[in-house]
Chains A and B, each alone.
Chain A
Amino acid sequence: MNEAARGKQIGIYVGKCFRLFFHDQWWKTLLSAAIITLLISAVTASDMYQAYNSTRNGSFALICACIWIGIFNSIQSVCRERSIIKREHRTGLHMSSYIIAHLIFETVLSFVEALIVTLLIWLTNLKNFPSAGVFLPALLEFFITYFLIILSSDALGVMVSSLVHTPETAMTVMPFVLIIELVMSGFIFKLQGFSEKLSYITVSKWGLNALCTTANVNMMDNHIPEYMDSYLFRVENLLGLWLILILFVLIYGLIAIFSLEFIDKDKR
């Protein structure tokens, strides 16, 4: 066999992902992350990180922004080059290498975007920003949560992009994915029965819980309107929430690989 081994293929495609990103007006992606964050910061209440409702509302808006940023990073990344991948698959490309390379690139991109989001939120909320998190400085915990939300949304985008065949279909599917993420988060509506179960597969639900845990919303206001077990200010709670977000990345990645294994069956 003459084709490159899986590890080498990952290296080749990681390099390719970065080159394509830098040759394709990379600054627009980062600028849009900054603009979205600033827009949300402009409308969040002045008592964000002080009052229970303001903190939850603001955090939910930021979750929406992070999911938007993450999905937009990758929603067209696979489907727009589907014919190219099909050709490369026939000549020895392993789909696992291809998706892992994409996820490595998306991890770096999500890291930078999370850095932008965290710093802008910190700068626009300097007065009220909590100093201590559950077990790390709050700034670091928020950063990790934003990073994992963006990354898992990004992986969701990769999965959708692998399942559909064209960028047009991807852009048609995306609003539905966003609606599910937002409506099924459990923040806007009280969910029961099937819809509550559906909320377990949303990034937004677990992301919001993690942000509210670090912000320690249960301890906000003299009169606590609603005590939430999901926001328990405990290490195991926060680590568990992060773990769920990491699991999403792995599951979405595996589904993407599995779906692309059948790419040779695409009709010409």
Chain B
Amino acid sequence: MAYLEIREGDTVRQLKILDNMSIGRPSSTSSPDIPFGEIFVSRRHGILQQTDRGLFYTDMKSTNGSWLNGIKLPPNAPVLLSEGDSLMFCNCKDSSVANRFVTLTVHTETRKESHTWQDFRKKNNALGPTLKVQLRERRAGRKVLLKDVNFEIPSGKVVLFLGGSGAGKTTLMNAICGYEKADARITFGQYDIYEDYDEVKHLVSYVPQQDLVRRKDTVYKTLANAADMRLANVPKHVRAQRVERALALLGLEPQRDSLVSKISGGQLKRLSIGLEYVADPKLFFLDEADSGLDYGMSYTLFENLRAIADEGRIIVVITHSPDRVRKFIDKVVVLAKDTRTECGKLAFYGDVKDALRYFEVESVENIVMRINRENEGGEGKGDYYIDRWIKENRR
């Protein structure tokens, strides 16, 4: 049974979720379905709508705003809620410094096929925070590795980082995550990833190329420990539910009691993703997510990633076989190495279809052929596309 756990001061109550529920401060003229007496809650603060696609929350232009898992929500934009999500209303501009607040924790039944949500989300403009990258320069000593890389990724998108060897894909990923800082301003919603790193780090996940998991532990315990470590403030039963959800979403239920050393390469990769997924991040970075996986495993993996993105998260991936999973990718960032300066620059950012048109190719992999140098088996047009991108975006 789907229900809400409502905390107001020391009081905790549970409420069954109905189809439409208004949230607000009661007055002589209005009596919301979920009333709060606190002054910082607006008369018509927000509404919860239970649909066949899931439970949605919309902030009704409230004075002090609504916060979902620590991130301020935009007004009038329905947001899909997941199991364990925490909505917060507070007397502050930043949820982490609130001294008075009320929270609603969502406990839902498993939702239907995630793929059906995407159209609904697009139609309803259900937006989460946007990732904005304004990278001026990334140096290693005197050498400039990356220069002038600017783009914005809206929530719910799967974005591919594409480029030849040494173009700076992993460097860019590390710079955005805050692992290897660049001369840049990287924002995620209201947060500056570099300046607010401690607050934002739990929202950002990085799945490296290597599968960094202990081989002699079980799949379930690996995920459970990750949840225990990173969701300490979340109730135990919610952590357990999140682990179960990760197992289900990533198709690892049959392997739950297996040792990590006994599972296949594809399952191991999915476990690596699950390790991050349980922590409920909003931004996922996956470096060569499907390296060493066959077509079937890779397809399943990207199907899982698509489902995760459809929950309102941003997925950024590097893969060397993008065409086999093209249908799951929304946008592409093309990086090329400028032969004049030997540093990586942006050659294109946009939808996959536009990218194919822009580079006049049939497949995504051929984009790499276009920009790679001739001695790397490419056509050596990297500089042309860098210049063209700069020129077209200057206008």
Cβ-defined partner of B229 (8 Å) among A81, A93, A268 = A93
Q: A218 vs B166: C-alpha distance in the bound complex, in angstroms?
A: 70
**Contact assessment for A4 and B214 in the assembled complex, using a CB-CB cutoff below 8 Å:** no
Are B229 and A20 closer than 8 Å at their CB atoms?
Answer: no
In the bound complex, what is the Cα–Cα distance between A261 and B170 (angstroms)? Answer: 24
User: Among the listed stretches B11-19, B22-30, B205-213, B311-319, which one makes contact with chain A, having 4 or more residues with CB under 8 Å of it?
Assistant: B205-213
Is B229's CB under 8 angstroms from A4's CB?
yes
Within 8 A of B (CB), among A67-108: 81, 83-84, 87-88, 90-93
Binds A, one of B50-58, B230-238, B297-305: B230-238
| B228 interfacial contact with A, CB 8 Å | yes
Interface stretch (choices B87-95, B109-117, B215-223): B215-223
The one of A2, A9, A81, A268 that contacts B214, using a Cβ cutoff of 8 Å:
A81
Scoring A2, A8, A90 by chain B CB atoms within 10 A of each residue's CB, the highest score goes to A2
Do B229 and A12 have beta carbons less than 8 Å apart?
yes
With CB as the reference atom, state the residue of chain A lying closest to B232.
Answer: A4
Given contacts A12-B225, A16-B225, contact A87 B212 (CB under 8 A): yes
Check: B201 CB closer than 8 A to any chain A CB. yes
A268 CA to B145 CA in the complex, in Å? 15
Do the beta carbons of A92 and B230 come within 8 Å of each other? yes
Name the distance in Å between B58's Cβ and chain A's nearest Cβ: 26
Q: Are B202 and A3 in contact (CB under 8 A)?
A: yes
Chain B residues with CB under 8 Å of A4's CB are: 228-230, 232
CA distance A88 to B217 in the complex (A): 16
Contacts of A23 in B (CB 8 A): 216-218, 259
B2 to chain A, nearest CB (A): 24
CA distance A20 to B218 in the complex (A): 9
A-B contact count (CB 8 A): 67
CB of A126 within 8 Å of the partner chain: no
Count A-side interface residues using an 8 Å CB cutoff. 24
User: Are the C-beta atoms of A83 and B231 separated by less than 8 Å?
Assistant: no
Q: How far is the CB of B219 from chain A (nearest CB, A)?
A: 12
Among residues of B, the one whose C-beta sits closest to the C-beta of A19 is B217
Question: B230 contacts which chain A residues (CB < 8 A)?
Answer: 2-4, 91-92
Q: Are B214 and A16 in touch, CB under 8 angstroms?
A: yes
Instruction: Name the distance in Å between B271's Cβ and chain A's nearest Cβ.
Output: 13
A268 contacts across to B, CB distance below 8 A: 170, 174
- Given the interface contacts A3-B229, A12-B225, A12-B228, does A20 sit within 8 Å of B202 by beta carbon? no
Q: How many residues of B contact A (CB 8 A)?
A: 26
A5 adjacent to chain B (CB < 8 Å) = yes
Q: Tell yes or no: B10 within 8 A of A by CB.
A: no
Instruction: Provide the residues of chain B in CB contact with A5, threshold 8 Å.
Output: 232
Is B392 an interface residue when CB atoms closer than 8 A count as contact? no
Within the assembled complex, what's the spacing in Å between the Cα atoms of A4 and B225? Answer: 10
> How many angstroms between the C-alpha atoms of A88 and B222 in the bound complex?
12
Do A3 and B232 touch (CB < 8 A)? yes
| Docked pose: A23 CA to B212 CA in angstroms | 18
Which of B210, B228, B233 has the largest number of chain A CB atoms within 10 A? B228
Q: Is B198 an interface residue (CB 8 A)?
A: yes
Bound-state Cα–Cα, A150 to B229, Å: 31
A93: B residues at CB distance < 8 A: 229
Q: Does A226 contact B (CB under 8 A)?
A: no
In whole angstroms, what is the CA distance A92 to B225 when docked? 13
Instruction: Across the interface, name the chain A residue whose C-beta is closest to B208.
Output: A87
B217 adjacent to A20 (CB under 8 Å): yes
Task: For chain B, residues 164 to 189, give those with C-beta under 8 angstroms from any C-beta of chain A.
Answer: 170, 174, 179
Query: Is A16 within 8 A of B229, CB to CB?
Result: no
Contacting B232 at CB < 8 Å: which of A8, A16, A90?
A8
Q: Does B335 contact A (CB under 8 A)?
A: no
Q: Please, what's the 1-or-0 string for B226-259, where 1 marks a CB less than 8 Å from any CB in chain A?
A: 0011111110000000000000000000000001
Residues B198 and A19 in contact, CB atoms below 8 Å apart: no
Minimum Cβ distance to chain B for residue A98 (Å): 11
Provide the A121-141 mask, 1 if CB < 8 A to any CB of B, else 0: 000000000000000000000
Question: B364 interface residue, CB < 8 Å from A?
Answer: no
Given contacts A2-B232, A8-B232, A84-B213, contact A91 B201 (CB under 8 A): yes
B229 A91 Cβ-Cβ under 8 A: yes
Decide yes or no whether A1 CB sits under 8 A from chain B.
yes
Residues of A within 8 A of B289 (CB): none
CA–CA, A233 to B246, complex, Å?
A: 62
Given contacts A20-B217, A84-B214, contact A2 B231 (CB under 8 A): yes
Determine the chain A residues whose CB is within 8 A of the CB of B216 once the complex forms.
Answer: 19-20, 23-24
What is the distance, in angstroms, from A167's C-beta to the closest C-beta of chain B?
13
Q: Does B333 contact A (CB under 8 A)?
A: no
Decide: B198 and A1 in contact? CB cutoff 8 A: yes
Question: In whole angstroms, what is the CA distance A20 to B213 when docked?
Answer: 12
> In whole angstroms, what is the CA distance A12 to B232 when docked?
11
B279 contacts the other chain (CB 8 A):
yes
Interface hits, B254-304 → A, CB 8 Å: 259, 279
Distance between Cα atoms of A93 and B210 in the complex (Å): 19
User: B279 to chain A: which residues have CB within 8 Å?
Assistant: 2, 91
In the bound assembly, the distance between CA atoms of A24 and B261 in angstroms comes to 11
Q: A8 CA to B239 CA in the complex, in Å?
A: 15
Q: Which residues of B contact A87 (CB under 8 A)?
A: 206, 208, 212
A15 vs B217: C-alpha distance when bound (angstroms)? 10
Given contacts A23-B259, A90-B179, A90-B201, contact A8 B213 (CB under 8 A): no
- Chain B residues lying within 8 Å of A16, measured Cβ to Cβ, are 214, 217, 221, 225
Q: How far is the CB of A18 from chain B (nearest CB, A)?
A: 11
Q: Which residues of A contact B233 (CB under 8 A)?
A: 1-2
Subset of 9 A-B contacts with CB under 8 Å:
A1-B233, A2-B202, A2-B232, A2-B233, A3-B229, A4-B229, A23-B217, A83-B212, A87-B208
Beyond the given A4-B232, A268-B170, could you list 20 further A-B residue pairs with CB under 8 A, ordered by the A residue number? A1-B198, A2-B230, A2-B231, A3-B202, A4-B230, A12-B228, A12-B229, A20-B214, A23-B216, A23-B217, A23-B218, A24-B216, A81-B214, A83-B208, A84-B213, A84-B214, A90-B206, A91-B279, A92-B202, A93-B229
Q: A-side interface residues toward B, CB under 8 Å?
A: 1-5, 8-9, 12, 15-16, 19-20, 23-24, 81, 83-84, 87-88, 90-93, 268
